Copies of this chain bind each other. A is one copy, B any other.
Amino acid sequence: MPHLILKNLPRYECLLEAANTFPELDPSSCEAFLHLLRTGDEAFLYTERNLTEHGISHGRFGVLMLLWGQSHNPEAHRHGMTPAELADQSNVTRATMTGLIDTLVRDAFVKRTADKDDRRMMRVALTPKAEKFLERLLPGHFQRMAALMNPLSQSEQKTLVKLLNKILQHASTLNAGPASKSAAAR
């Protein structure tokens, strides 16, 4: 499930040429956009391979990390999280979260317990098995991140983060803003 289906990005000259046909095309923006998606795909692929080798999908890993982060947070108010909380802090729907939790329960990585106060809710918590699993998995995972960013000096990494953050902030407002159904002329 790559974000960009193109393996070889177009040369800059091709973008310049295409801009003759489409005046809306800004070659510099387009180049940056394509590189962003392509690099993100490749980086994602590299870490995901590690996860699948350990028999866990990316989505399930994300849920484990969310729970792990919460269980290691001193401000944590309660034990475990509800499926709704997990879904809200992820980029998946509640229905999808139900499915993710299903498979995690099947593999004994999390436990579902009914909330005492509100019987609509469930609480999801890591099992010791999951803790051990993460302790085995995470070192390699972090090593891969470091390996990926190896060609960049620390200051280059800071620059990258700064630039990406500008885009991220802007994209978030763009994505959240036009919930008004009609974003483009049809």
Contacts and interface: CB of A to CB of B under 8 A. Distances in A.
B42 A37 contact: no
Given A8-B89, A62-B6, A151-B170, A41 B40 contact: yes
A132 interface: no
A44 B3 contact: yes
Interface of A: 1-8, 10, 14, 18, 22, 24-26, 28-33, 35-47, 49-50, 53, 58-59, 61-63, 65-66, 69, 72, 88-92, 138-140, 142-143, 145-152, 154, 156-161, 163-172, 174-175, 183-186
B91 A142 contact: no
A170 B170 CA distance: 28
Contacts of A62: 4-6
B152 A174 contact: no
Nearest to A32: B157
A81 to B, nearest CB: 13
A152 B32 contact: yes
Given A42-B168, A53-B183, A148-B174, 8 more contacts: A5-B62, A24-B139, A25-B138, A28-B154, A37-B40, A39-B168, A41-B91, A45-B171
Q: Which of A18, A33, A90, A154 gathers the greatest number of chain B CB atoms within 10 Å?
A: A33
A40 B43 CA distance: 11
